[in-house]
Amino acid sequence: MCIFAYITTDCMDHKCKICAKPIKGRSDKIYCSTHCKNIYHKKLRYASKVAAIEINGYLKRNYSILLEVLGKNKIQLKVYRNLLERKGFRFKYRTHFHINSKGKTFFYLYDIAWMEFSDDEILIVRKRRLKH
């Protein structure tokens, strides 16, 4: 069963999105009943959860690897790219990125960033929160 079908199915024919019964009453109604509406939201939550599980796993794994390599007290560290690869680091999974004034791109995993220092070196930087 495709769980996404319920979410993407168009509803132009004015049938309930879940059970396909004709809808009585207002023309902007999408579900025939509160029961069907609840089913829809349950399926939507489930689909969001399933979609997030795999990527969240990669992000957490990447973060753990950076944390492990950087250690507790270092602010920054240069390592060989293949060290991270050997540990299973997936370079394409990051939470956000920032381009600094020198045009260098820092890829973030939460509060730790990395950037391509050279073809085979990666600079890992712990970003401390600024105190105001």
CA 12 vs CA 3, 6, 23, 124: distances in Å: 20, 14, 11, 51
Quote the CA–CA distance of 46 and 64 in Å, as a whole number.
26
Q: By C-beta, is 38 or 48 nearer to Zn ion?
A: 38
Q: By C-beta, is 19 or 52 nearer to Zn ion?
A: 19
Quote the CA–CA distance of 112 and 64 in Å, as a whole number.
10
Q: Of the candidates 3, 7, 19, 75, which one interacts with Zn ion according to CB under 5 A?
A: 19
For residue 50, the minimal CB distance to Zn ion (Å) is 23
Residue 32 binds Zn ion, judged by CB under 5 A: yes
Residue 23 binds Zn ion, judged by CB under 5 A: no
Q: By C-beta, is 32 or 125 nearer to Zn ion?
A: 32
**Closest of 90, 92, 81 to residue 61, by C-alpha:** 90
- Footprint of Zn ion on this chain (CB under 5 A)? 16, 18-19, 32, 36
